[in-house]
Amino acid sequence: MSERPVDVYARISKAPDGSLDKTDRQIADCRAELERRGLTLGKVHEDPNKSAWRENVRRQGWEALLNRFESGVISGVVVWNVDRLLRQPRDLQKLIDMAKEQGFTVYSCFGDYDLSNPDHLLHLRIKTDFAAHESASNQRRTKRGLLAARTRGKMHTGPRAFGWPAAVKEDEEPTAPELVAVERKAIAEATRRYLDGDPLGSIATDFNARGIRTATGGQWTGVTVKQMLKRPRNAGLVEYGGQVVAELDGEEAIVDRATFDLLTARLALARSGRPSPDQRLLTHIAYCGNCGYWLNSRTRSGKYYADGKVRIHYHCPANRGCAKVSIAQPALDKELKDFTIARLSDPRHAAQIQVRAQASRELERRVSEINDLQDELDDRLTSGQITMERFDKMNARLTRQLEELEEGLAAVRVPEADLSMPEARSAVLRRWEDAGVPERRGMVRAALGDKKLIIDPVSGHWRKAKITDRIRIE
């Protein structure tokens, strides 16, 4: 009889009903094997519902066994079958390395393996390699089956998702249609609000206050709202391996594909403290007169105007533009305010502008958002925050949307006409003063119509340059 005890180890990969019956049977068989061999029982280690093949799975029972082995407390382990203990060659090698100092034996109900015996090691390596191959083959079959189901538009039958009924099961009541309808409206509302600038945390707080609960009946947080909004199923899509493979079979989408793509891009690029383009009047409205790219805006840290305000400049970005045009925000904003008020007050253009604005304002807003997201993608790629593969995937979606929106804008543009619709200058000025930045941006776009606001580079010494000489509208 060995002087040191032998531990028992039992594991199952899955227990669908959550029970430990199979583990219990393994332990009972191991105890009987210990008694038959006349070995002393040490401790019993269990890893229910744990894979021994997946690299990212932590097995607490396995780790406890290794600790006792390394401490010299035990001389071996008994398992029902060696594939319960080992399904990866790396784990076997760990045991072999540890056994060089003090020896170790793996007992099973079907044989035993002394790690100091080369013949035993050969057989154990073969069994472990076979177990790893079996797990890999099972995973391939599972993935192939899942992919086939996804490409047919079938979703998994796991826990119920917010906004969707649960899979029908025997002896269970189906999800109330009224509840599903309320949740679908909440998803559409949250999507719209986030794209309009509402923080995820504010949406969560509002939902909680209104009694809207998660699918499991819990409270919302900003994180859970984000997770809910990112589900491809909301757009009627089935995703597998990060790729859209089909449309849902027989289920109606909650949001359209273009809106969902824009939403997921904004969620992916969102980061704390990043200003929205709608916070600056002319971001992505003014163009660089040197290279033709959109102007972004930036705060000049530590630089202040005479009135104490931090300096803000519109500039052509270096990552996609030429970086050769920059202009102070207050001066340009003032000039465009005067132009916008005069233009919207002019009866020769007011009606035609109003017609165009009603048809194209939303399209132009979405174009601006997509361009901003593409700029942010470039920044992330340049700084190494995302991979080229991730960049290409997200940028392809945005480019596709941008092309569709540009086609839509071209379709709604109308030639100028001498229409009459008087609007007093004072009324337009009052509307401007009462408006926030997003609405003022809409007024600027309406005043520009199908013309471009272009900012030219400084000609000569910058101190002598007049801002009016640098502005072109054509």
Of 343, 344, 355, the residue nearest 417 (C-alpha): 355
Average pLDDT estimate for 391-399: 72
Question: Left (φ > 0), alpha (ψ -120 to 50) or beta: where does 416 sit?
Answer: beta
Cβ–Cβ under 8 Å, residues 443 and 431:
yes
Spell out the domain ranges in the chain: 6-146, 177-269, 277-473
Average pLDDT estimate for 345-362: 59
Q: What pLDDT sits at residue 142?
A: 56
Span 313-353, pLDDT tens digits: 888 988 778 888 888 888 889 888 888 888 877 766 555 55
Of 146, 375, 381, 135, the residue nearest 276 (C-alpha): 375
SS3 11: strand
Tracing tokens 């709608």 back to the chain, one arrives at: 278
In this structure, the dihedral spanned by the alpha carbons of residues 351, 365, 437 and 278, taken in order and rounded to 10 degrees, is: -170
Ranges 168-172, 233-237, 258-262, 290-294: which has the least confidence: 168-172
Q: What pLDDT sits at residue 421?
A: 42
Q: The domain at 177-269 falls in which architecture?
A: Alpha-Beta Complex (3.90)
Residue with the larger pLDDT of the pair 365 and 124: 124
Average pLDDT estimate for 14-24: 55
* Rounded Cα distance, 319 and 379, in Å: 7
Domain 6-146 bears CATH identifier 3.40.50.1390:
yes
Span 134-170, pLDDT tens digits: 766 766 665 555 545 545 545 555 577 888 787 666 5
Q: What pLDDT sits at residue 41?
A: 93
Span 174-200, pLDDT tens digits: 788 898 889 989 999 999 888 877 888
Token pair, residue 39, equals 């070995």
The single-letter code of the amino acid at 340 is T
Average pLDDT estimate for 199-212: 88
Token pair, residue 411, equals 């379709």
Confidence label for 111 from pLDDT (cuts 50, 70 and 90): confident
Q: What pLDDT sits at residue 153?
A: 47
Residues in CB range of 75: below 8 A, 6 or more apart: 2, 3, 4, 5, 6, 103, 104, 105
Confidence label for 258 from pLDDT (cuts 50, 70 and 90): confident
What DSSP element (H or E) covers 315?
strand 310-315
Span 130-143, pLDDT tens digits: 877 776 676 666 55
Q: What are phi and psi of 72, to 5 degrees?
A: 80, 15
Burial (CB count within 10 angstroms: exposed 0-12, middle 13-18, buried 19+), residue 155: middle
Q: What pLDDT sits at residue 152?
A: 52
Residue count of the chain: 474
Residue with the larger pLDDT of the pair 64 and 396: 64
Cβ–Cβ under 8 Å, residues 45 and 10:
yes
Alpha carbon 29 to its chain's center: 47
Confidence label for 360 from pLDDT (cuts 50, 70 and 90): low
Confidence label for 408 from pLDDT (cuts 50, 70 and 90): low
* Rounded Cα distance, 356 and 409, in Å: 10
Q: Is the pLDDT of residue 219 over 90?
A: no
Q: What DSSP string describes 438-465?
A: HHHHHHHHHHHTT--EEEPPP-S-GGG-
Average pLDDT estimate for 393-417: 61
Q: Is the pLDDT of residue 269 over 80?
A: no
The single-letter code of the amino acid at 354 is Q
Q: Taking CA 274 as the corner, what is the angle to CA 268 and CA 275, rounded to the nearest 5 degrees?
A: 120
Q: Compute CA distances 362 → 297, 350, 407, whole Å.
A: 22, 19, 14
Q: Compute CA distances 123 → 128, 162, 428, whole Å.
A: 9, 51, 88
* Rounded Cα distance, 396 and 399, in Å: 5
Q: Is the pLDDT of residue 208 over 80?
A: yes
* Rounded Cα distance, 431 and 364, in Å: 21
Of 224, 226, 206, the residue nearest 215 (C-alpha): 224
* Rounded Cα distance, 63 and 76, in Å: 14
Q: What pLDDT sits at residue 419?
A: 32
* Rounded Cα distance, 464 and 454, in Å: 20
Q: Are strands 326-328 and 453-455 parallel, antiparallel or unpaired?
A: unpaired
Q: Is the pLDDT of residue 418 over 50?
A: no
Confidence label for 261 from pLDDT (cuts 50, 70 and 90): confident
Ranges 74-83, 239-248, 435-444: which has the least confidence: 239-248
> In sequence order, which ranges of 3-116 are alpha helices (DSSP H)?
21-37, 60-70, 82-85, 89-102
* Rounded Cα distance, 457 and 455, in Å: 7
SS3 5: coil
Residue with the larger pLDDT of the pair 204 and 249: 204
